[in-house]
Structure 1
Amino acid sequence: MKALRNYHARLRRALDHVDRHLDDDLDLAAVSEVAAFSKYHFHRQFTAVFGVSVHRYVQLARLKRASYQLAFRDGQSVTGIAFDAGYDAPDAFARAFRQRFGQSPSSFRTAPDWGPWLHALGALDDARSTLMTKNYSAADVTIREVSPTSVAILEHRGDPAMVGATIQRFIAWRRKAGLVPPASATFNIFHGDPRTAAPADYRMDLCAGTDQSFEQHGERVEAGLIPGGRCAVLPVVGGTDDLEPAALFLYRDWLPASGEELRDFPLYCQRLSFFPDVSEHQAVAELFLPLR
């Protein structure tokens, strides 16, 4: 068992290195050296455990970052994004992007098709979840007295797979309204569980902190309030596009053992740093569970 744990730790080290060094040389020899495995066998070891090759894992991680830059950061050129993703020419990047996601980079920037995108990145998510699942403990949770926060709310209603489209609209609206981070805090309020809610009924609120009046700029943005009070707060560092494991820990493990009772307001989070502005492992969110 100790040998197996050590083996898995070396493979986790390889994944962590890739995720933290997407701009570096990440060929087979470089990644195998981090894990202290022979490059002559590492490609088979990696594929056997994670279900994808080292090359494909690196490519998917870089293309995920590129897709976020295309969809949510329109100030970056397609050519610049191609170079950031490790391609020497935009046409090579375009071919790889279309092969994985079924759209050209420019088409994805204009109108992302989120279904094929999610499907294509499933191999990346599966590989990471094999050995990189986060483990939380009660020591990670603090109880904090939170001040009330006035927010502007854009509601997402419908299939969780389409949240990305709502995020695009939210980012565009924030720019027009002058409510961009970090001057305006970013919150998400989770009114449903994406794993159990019917897709048509799923609801999540995208919120920008402001106590000023604002223009709607063609969107149905409403003024709201995140109420103050006691909250259990769990920081999440890295992989903040999926907060469900952290939420599950709070509801399944922390809450029953805490003796606390819940207040009548949904689970919500504040996003403190954002992928792709920072590397995926550096993205930070705090999950708030309102308490009586």
Structure 2
Amino acid sequence: MLKKELINQSIDYILKHLDDDISVDDVANHFCYSKYYFCRSFKAVTGESVYEFIKRLKLDQSASEMKREKTKSITNIGMDYGYSSSNYSTAFQKHHNISPTEFRKSTEVTGMENPFYPAGLSDFETFDAYNSRISLQEFPDFLVIYERMIGNYIELKDNWFKFLDKYKNYMKADTLMIERFYDDPAITSLNRCLCDICLTTEDTCKLDNVTMLKGGRFAAYRYEGRIEDIFCTVQGIFSVWMPQSGYYMDGRCGLNIYRKIDKENGYVIMDVCIPIK
């Protein structure tokens, strides 16, 4: 069975080429894997077949783009992910149980249910309120130790504490704790959300699970508050600020950079960093 790290590399390759007409054969051939062996290993690690994974990512990412870029036509969004107009609508409806048109209407909201408080509704702030806490920043590339999580983002807190305990000997005074997030948990099935938990490290690190997070220009929102309220804050940024900002995501993944964590009280200071162009 292929090592988990090799499967992670194939996932990275798929993500990089998601807007191409990528196939299972393309991925297996790129890494010189036997197609049968690769497919069996991929499903064992991720719980999905390669084909299912690629199709789901296309439909989830296109829905996220529809939410952020409200003036871009549904047809053009579908075409960006390799679909004709009619095929995209059919595939989207089958996957999300809602038509693309109705989905876009459903994103015009002023609040959202918080999975940490299922009985309540959290209201979004205004564009100006979000904008006042956002600064444009240039980040370097970050060399990091990472572990990839596929599952519910609600489990991130516990996974973080286990991760920090596991790699405590690699932490220094200037070590940054970073999440690289791929999915919108309001769109992707909760048990399928993809996230990398990371610690910055030096190029002398000999661990296998080391990768580079791409830097560049980001819109950074400074969040200070409870861990349980991060979800709705991020949803508000993407639902309210992003569509009105005049900026677009450029294909890189978003980053959450933690500046302070109060484990006992569940309080954090962090920068929610959106890659922009």
Q: 1:111-148 CA distances to partner (integer Å, 9 max, x unpaired)?
A: 139789636443542xx45xxx34313669xxxxxxxx
SS in 2 for 1:56: helix
How big is the shift at 1:65? Answer: 2.2
What residue in structure 1 maps to residue 254 of structure 2?
Answer: 240
Q: CA deviation at 1:273?
A: 1.9
Determine helix, strand or coil for the equivalent of 2:271.
strand
Shift of 1:78: 0.8
SS in 1 for 2:186: helix
- The answer to whether the 8 A contact 2:254-2:274 is kept is no
1:167-192, Cα deviation, whole Å (9 max, x unpaired):
323345x45xxxx459xxxxxxxxxx
Counterpart in 2 of 1:94? 89
Cα deviations by residue, 1:153-212 (Å, 9 ceiling, x for unpaired): 9xxx9793585356323345x45xxxx459xxxxxxxxxxxxxxxxxxxxxxxxxxxxxx
Task: Using the TM superposition, give the Cα deviation of residue 50 of structure 1 relative to its aligned residue in structure 2, in angstroms.
Answer: 0.6
CA displacement at 1:25 relative to structure 2: 3.0
Give the total of aligned pairs: 178
- Contact 1:10–1:36 (8 Å) recurs in 2: no
Report what 1:169 is aligned to.
240
Of residues 111, 118, 125, the one that matches 2:186 is 118
- Whole-angstrom CA distance in 2 between matches of 1:162 and 1:108: 21
* 2:18 maps to 1:15: no
| 2:26 counterpart of 1:30 | yes
2:269 paired with 1:267: yes
Q: CA deviation at 1:16?
A: 0.7
Query: Which letter maps to 1:68?
Result: S
After superposition, the C-alpha distances for 1:189-247 in whole angstroms (9 at most, x for unaligned) are xxxxxxxxxxxxxxxxxxxxxxxxxxxxxxxxxxxxxxxxxxxxxxxx95426x3xx53
2:65 equivalent to 1:69: yes
What is the Cα deviation at residue 54 of structure 1? Answer: 0.7
Q: TM-score, normalised by structure 2?
A: 0.51
Aligned to 1:147: none
Deviation at 1:17, TM superposition (A): 0.4
Q: Which has the higher helix share?
A: 1
Percent sequence identity is 19
Q: Does structure 1 retain, via aligned residues, the 8 Å contact 2:4–2:45?
A: no
* Residue 70 (structure 1) shift: 0.8
Which residue in the other structure is 1:105 paired with? 100
1:53 aligns with 2:49: yes
Letter in 2 for 1:122: L
Cα 1:9/1:48, change in 2 over 3 Å: same
Structure 2: gaps spanning 5 or more residues: 114-183, 204-220
Maintained 8 Å contact 2:260/2:268: no
Aligned CA distance change for structure 1 residues 22 and 99 (closer, same or farther; 3 Å): same
Q: Give distance in 1, aligned partners of 2:199 and 2:93.
A: 37
Change over 3 Å in CA distance of 1:42–1:168 after alignment to 2: same
Residues 161/100 of structure 1: CA separation in 2 closer, same or farther (3 Å cut): farther
Task: Say whether residues 1:160 and 2:234 are aligned partners.
Answer: no
Runs of at least 5 residues in structure 1 that lack an aligned partner in the other structure: 141-150, 183-236, 254-264, 278-292
The answer on whether the counterparts of 1:13 and 1:34 sit within 8 Å (CA) in structure 2 is no
Structure 2 partner of 1:283: none
Separation in structure 2 between the aligned mates of residue 161 and residue 95 of structure 1, nearest angstrom: 30
Query: In structure 2, the residue corresponding to 1:118 is in which secondary structure?
Result: coil
Structure with higher Rg: it is: 1
Q: Distance in 1 between matches of 2:104 and 2:235?
A: 12
Distance, in Å, in 1 between the alignment partners of 2:22 and 2:97 is 25
Secondary structure of the residue aligned to 1:251 is strand
> Aligned letter for 1:240?
G
